[in-house]
Amino acid sequence: MVKAANRKTKNTVDQSRPSLMDIADVYAAPGHLIRRAQQIAVAIFFDEFRDWDVTPVQFAALVAIKDRPGMDQRTLVNCIAIDRSTVGSMLRVLEERRMISRVTPKENMRIKRLYIEPAGEKILDETRDAIRRAQERILAPLKADEQEIFMKYLARIVDLNNELSRAPLRIHARETMPDIA
C-alpha cells in the first residue's frame, strides 16, 4: 500500500510549480516575436537597400547627423539608441567612405563634431523611395487601421521599456537640441 501511494505521488504533477515550456510557448512569447520581427525588418531593409552598402544603424546615423549637424558622438549615441561600444567603429566606416566628417573643435579637443558629407547626403537622397518601401513592406500584412494600432502599441512598448535597453534612447525627435554650432 505504501508503494502504491509513493507511485501515485511520483506521477502526480506538482501544480504549485509552473510547467516546463515547449517550443509552442517560445513561438508565442513576445520577446521571441519581437526578435523575429526585427530579423524580418532587417532582411527587408537589406533587400530594399541592396544597391547601397549601408546598414540600418548607419542609415539612422546619417539621418541624425544630417538633421543635427555638429552633434558629438555621445549625442549621436543618445539620439539613435546605439551601443557606445559600436558607435566608434560605425562612424569610422562612414568617415572612410566619406559620408561623414568628424571635426575636433579648437575649444574642446576631447570631442569630435559630426557632419554629413556630400556622399552621405547622396545616399539619403537616393534611398528615399527604398526606405519608404521597406517601411511599407514591414507593415504590409496588416490592414491600414491595424498598422496604426500596431505602431501605436509598438511605440508604447518601446517608450515605456526604454530604460531597460542596453542603449536607451535619450534624445527624442520631439525634443529640441541646443545650438551647438
Residue whose C-alpha cell is 573643435: 105
What pLDDT sits at residue 177? Answer: 44
Domain 54-126, second-level architecture: Orthogonal Bundle (1.10)
> Burial letters for 137-173: b for 16+ Cβ neighbours within 10 Å, e otherwise?
bbeeeeeeeebeeeeeeeeeeeeeeeeeeebebebee
Segment 90-113, tens digit of pLDDT? 999 999 999 999 999 999 889 999
Say how far apart CA 65 and CA 57 lie, in whole Å.
12
Q: What type of residue is 155?
A: A
* Mean of pLDDT values over 77-86: 93
- What are the residue ranges spanned by the domains of the chain? 54-126, 128-169
Say how far apart CA 110 and CA 113 lie, in whole Å.
10
* Mean of pLDDT values over 114-123: 98
Q: What type of residue is 29?
A: A
The CA distances from residue 153 to 41, 57, 147, 148, 172, in Å, are 17, 23, 10, 9, 17
Residue whose C-alpha cell is 502504491: 4
What pLDDT sits at residue 144? Answer: 97
Confidence of residue 21 (pLDDT cuts 50, 70, 90): confident
